[in-house]
Structure 1
Amino acid sequence: MIILGEKYILTELERKRLAKKFSKIEYIKYRNGDVEEIIGKIEKALDGNGPKLIVLNTKAPTPNRLIAYLTNLELKGVSFVSIEHFLESYLHKCFISEDRTDLTYLENIKPYTPWQYFQKRAVDFFGIFWLFFFSWPFMLYSAYRIKKESPDGPIFFKQKRVGFGGKEFECIKFRSMVPDAEKGTPKFASKDDPRIFEWGAVMRKTRLDELPQMWNILKGEMHLIGPRPERKYWTDQFEKIIPYYNERHLVKPGVTGWAQVMYPYGSHHEDAKQKLMYDLYYIKYWNIILELKIVWMTAMTVIGKKGI
């Protein structure tokens, strides 16, 4: 496979995932490059039994000479795919352009149909029944550990989050940080955040801290699966710098989601953008198979068999 250009820069995690699918990956820069030099690099990469897929990952103007060369390659059996379709087909995320010229998400990202919503609520009720059946001992033990390690604070942590339609609701979780950790300017939790006590770190890694949100699901404020709800402070910030950020509010948030099982904890607006790409893919291509896949991947995370 050849990735031509740097319109989108793959993350290290994505490079590792693609290395499992392609035996050889060549990265060829395009912007401000000499056309003949670029053709030479492509020829070298295609030599022998090398890659037969070229990802068009450039937004720079393409000279007729290069277009003619690429067209001839297609006649010889080389396949081409745009970076937008490549990300959706191979990495299961939607591309968000930096130049803000693509308005197609306003058409493509839609709320669930009545039939889709019925299926999601069926998954919600079926899921939380079995989730509570298997998790209540862990919930009791978590309550015990929270009071033991951080006795000055409450067991549950309640916080307003932005949900469906951009409206706020009160989200409930097991408290994983010391009391008053959220005072002052809000900030993301980091990997070795000193505000998180020992059992709190375990709960975050295994998603046990999210279990009380079964109550939010029963109330109809959340789904079992969906984009994770954020605080209004963060959504206001992200809306200003990340195109289409509020598209994720066309559906109800979830306890877990596609972004959660595909991308690690983030602490920067770039992480929020990466997660939005996965959220947009989830909404755009929602189906019951994808829903059940996320349930399975989350379960594997909880029992330590999978997770980032």
Structure 2
Amino acid sequence: MKSLLILLFFPIVLYAQVPYDAVESLISEKQFAKAEKLIAPYVTSNTKDLKAIELLGDAHGHQKNWDEAIKNYKRLKELSPSNANYHYKYGGALGMKALNVNKFKALGIIGDVKEAFLEAAELDAKHIDTRWALVELYMSLPGIVGGSKKKSLKYANELEQLSLVDGYLAKGYIYEYDDEPKLAETYYKKAIEVGGSINCFEKLTNLYESQQQPDKAISNIEVAQKKHKRNALHYQIGKVCADYNVQLDKGERCLMRYIENYSAADGVPKEWAYYRLAQIYKHKNDKNKAIEYIDKALEIRSDFKQALREKSTILSK
């Protein structure tokens, strides 16, 4: 009888082992479908396990299965209505769904998105992500459905009280969105002074590029390189030089250095550096060198569409 009981209950004991760590590991490795498959049966049998439901919602969200993510996050906020993060995730999933449906359906969702974010902000006066969401939401919505620069600035000011760098970045975002580049530049520079992260430098670089100011963009990336010593920034300099046909010798040197020191951790595949070198030599009217480097890119990836188009352009000159 004792043996029979062990046989009966042993599978249950195994099944009851909560696979949190394994699911979190799969999500961090971007194996979202596997994470979903592992946690879903557990959630089916443990319908009030908040962490498991959240992990399932996260797995769905990463796969852009917004309806399932919404269902799980809604369940979370119903089970734990005072948890700001659950309201934030629910609003975020709703917002992503709104971006992927037609405008009429989206209008019906926006009110719930706003309500969820406002509830999260009310529940947690220090919830930075929620305030960022509200900054972006109020700036992106048309005034007729509740968009408001004034309200966006209100949450940017709240962010500034919680984190100077986030507040400055939020204001930079608002003024860039509102086509006030001088003010955006001022706040992005403030963010660099206070925080100085790669993200801060990227925001200012992107602003300069959007304003067709490549020399300023290059100078900003060079400052970031001195501070952070990242090989990927060599590629970024080369990219700007190639895109805007400026400082071509500098762009060439930086791309060569990027290739020489390349590792997978740099993010941008090596073939893109060869592609940018081909562009630079095209600008220099050195057709042979341009073809040499575009062929190097295509040796790595024969279906590299941009490189194939660039080769046709080079050969046609």
TM-score by length of 2: 0.25
Relative contact order higher in (CA < 8 Å, ≥ 6 apart): 1
Give the structure with higher Rg (CA).
Answer: 2
The structure in which a higher percent of residues are strand is: 1
Please state which structure has a larger fraction of its residues in helix: 2
